[in-house]
Amino acid sequence: MKIGSPKEVFAGEARVAMTPDSALQLQKLGHECFVETGAGTVAGFADEAYTAAGVTVVADEAALFAAVDVIAKVRAPSDDEARMLTPAQTLISFFNPAGNTELLELCKEQGATVMAMEMVPRISRAQKMDALSSMANIAGYRAVIEAGNNFGRFFTGQITAAGKVPPAKVLVVGAGVAGLAAIGAATSLGAITYAFDVRPEVAEQVESMGAQFVYLDFEEAQKDGAETGGYASVSSPEFREAQLAKFREIAPDIDIVITTALIPNRDAPKLWLADMVASMKRGSVIIDLAAERGGNVEGTVPDEKVMTDNGVTIIGYTDFPSRMAAQASSLYSTNIRHLLADLTPGKDGVINHNMEDDVIRSATVTRGGEITFPPPPLKIK
Ligand code: NAD
């Protein structure tokens, strides 16, 4: 089959869904590879590097869409891109099918097969295709780097001839994939790192990464993640009050807060309130990784950096993976390549879109002129 990646049209998006390395692997599966000219330039992959890897570079997006059977993208297609799809084509990208119902309808009308990367189920077999995790890992790491860039001091404590420097104190709220990556980056820079999550089972993971878990003086245990598929559920009002009281107590002592707390299918819970921001020291930094879903922090403005009256910087950027476009493209293109490997079981360049396969079925959101989202429950957990 012919597989191609266009240059992303979403403003500021620097990632690309195919790299020269992933193209080499796709060719081993029997596929031919194409990119639109300039598709990888911002991420650091020049047209010449693609050509050297056996990829055909085509002049524009329309030519790319006309040339290939499978389009691999990062962002959901624009309406113009969706209108170029044909019933014979498959599009693979992030799509947010629950929130993009009109786009889903348009792709159905076009008759194309669409696979949404965020719908890849989080089962062991599919970890290599889990783009939500690979991008969350980058977001967590980059959040720490961004915090450091806006924090006027060292993370690590030092005793030097020029004076004694205390270590920075970092609090990570939400210890999922992004939070654990942030803990790893902050501890490796030498900060004293604390973390909190409503799922009690993550305390061990937090501690194994060198951070201290923040325990609440509260008797009611939160639901174990095993009951909720590993995701958080909404806290009881009493638990939430105990959590806010603990945050209020520690806020004046924390230099950097990184929030990542999400609950599936809901707005992000507000956890770091205006009075906590107001009690932080001048020069402190907050990175709100939940900004796109409404933010965990009162005062976050999505895609902006704001400075409060008391000198606290609040960063609500929603494009952290794109800010590390080379790394993000390498990992994302590997996720796509693994998905295509499952779609090409014979390694003969022939795609077998097996709707009996849990992973392929879950990710497929339109096919044959039908909307196939939401998927049925998984057969294998
Ligand atoms: P997420 O992005 O949905 O949420 C981030 C974190 O915020 C979660 O740890 C959640 O518990 C926490 N949170 C929610 N409300 C909170 C609150 N009020 N206060 C503090 N923290 C709060 O999470 P994620 O990174 O997508 O991970 C979700 C689950 O999926 C985890 O159990 C993770 O281990 C699991 N996972 C499994 C696989 C796999 O098996 N292939 C891959 C990735 C993630």
Quick one: what percent of the chain has pLDDT higher than 70? Answer: 97
Catalytic residue among 75, 188, 231, 248: 231
Token couple for 109: 């009308």
CB 174 near ligand 1, within 6 Å? yes
Whether 122 is catalytic is yes
Q: Whose CA is nearest to atom 1 of ligand 1?
A: 262
Question: Does position 83 have pLDDT exceeding 60, yes or no?
Answer: yes
pLDDT in tens, 368-381: 999 999 999 997 65
Token couple for 200: 């009690």
- Dihedrals phi, psi of 193, to nearest 5 degrees: -115, 135
Mean pLDDT of 298-319: 98
Q: Given the CA of residue 225, which atom of ligand 1 is nearest to it?
A: 32
Token couple for 92: 């693979």
Q: Using omega within 30 degrees of 0 as the cis cutoff, is the peptide bond preceding 374 cis? A: yes
> What is d(CA 24, CA 278) in angstroms, rounded to the nearest whole number?
52
Measured in Å, residue 176 CA sits from the centre of ligand 1 at 4
Catalytic residue among 25, 110, 133, 284: 133
What's the distance, Cα to Cα, between the start and end of the chain in Å? Answer: 31
Which residues touch 173 (CB under 8 Å, ≥6 apart)? 179, 195, 196, 197, 247, 257, 258, 259, 260, 261, 271, 272, 296
- pLDDT value for 218: 73
Measured in Å, residue 238 CA sits from the centre of ligand 1 at 21
Query: Which of 292, 265, 335, 366 shows the shortest CA–CA distance to 74?
Result: 335
Catalytic residue among 122, 240, 293, 323: 122
Q: Whose CA is nearest to atom 42 of ligand 1?
A: 122
Please give the order of strands across the beta sheet that includes 256-259.
Answer: 212-213, 192-196, 169-173, 256-259, 285-288, 313-315, 305-307
Whether 133 is catalytic is yes
- pLDDT value for 38: 98
Interstrand relation of 364-367 and 305-307 (parallel, antiparallel or unpaired): unpaired
**Residue of 117, 125, 137, 198 to test ligand 1 pocket, by largest number of atoms within 8 Å of CB:** 198
- Dihedrals phi, psi of 132, to nearest 5 degrees: -60, -45
Measured in Å, residue 72 CA sits from the centre of ligand 1 at 27
CB 196 near ligand 1, within 6 Å? yes
Q: Kindly tell me the sign of the dihedral angle through the C-alpha atoms of 125, 131, 136, 137.
A: positive
- pLDDT value for 229: 67
Catalytic residue among 5, 25, 50, 130: 130
Measured in Å, residue 290 CA sits from the centre of ligand 1 at 12
CB 131 near ligand 1, within 6 Å? no
**Residue of 130, 132, 197, 359 to test ligand 1 pocket, by largest number of atoms within 8 Å of CB:** 197
Residues pairing with 92 in the sheet = 72, 115
Residues pairing with 195 in the sheet = 172, 213
ipTM over 0.90: yes
Interstrand relation of 163-165 and 169-173 (parallel, antiparallel or unpaired): unpaired
Measured in Å, residue 174 CA sits from the centre of ligand 1 at 7
Q: Given the CA of residue 261, which atom of ligand 1 is nearest to it?
A: 7
CB 173 near ligand 1, within 6 Å? yes
CB 290 near ligand 1, within 6 Å? no
Question: Does position 138 have pLDDT exceeding 60, yes or no?
Answer: yes
Question: Does position 181 have pLDDT exceeding 90, yes or no?
Answer: yes
What's the chain's average pLDDT?
A: 95
Residue with tokens 């951070």: 211
CB 140 near ligand 1, within 6 Å? no
- Whether 119 contacts 126, CB under 8 Å: no
Residues pairing with 70 in the sheet = 3, 90
Note the Cα 283 to chain centre separation in Å. 28
- pLDDT value for 161: 96
pLDDT in tens, 182-226: 999 999 999 999 999 999 889 999 999 999 999 987 766 555 555
Which residues touch 105 (CB under 8 Å, ≥6 apart)? 371
Residue 261, by phi and psi: left (phi above 0), alpha (psi -120 to 50) or beta?
beta
pTM: 0.96
Whether 231 is catalytic is yes
- Whether 105 contacts 128, CB under 8 Å: no
Q: Whose CA is nearest to atom 8 of ligand 1?
A: 176
- pLDDT value for 265: 81
Q: Whose CA is nearest to atom 27 of ligand 1?
A: 176
Token couple for 62: 């329309």
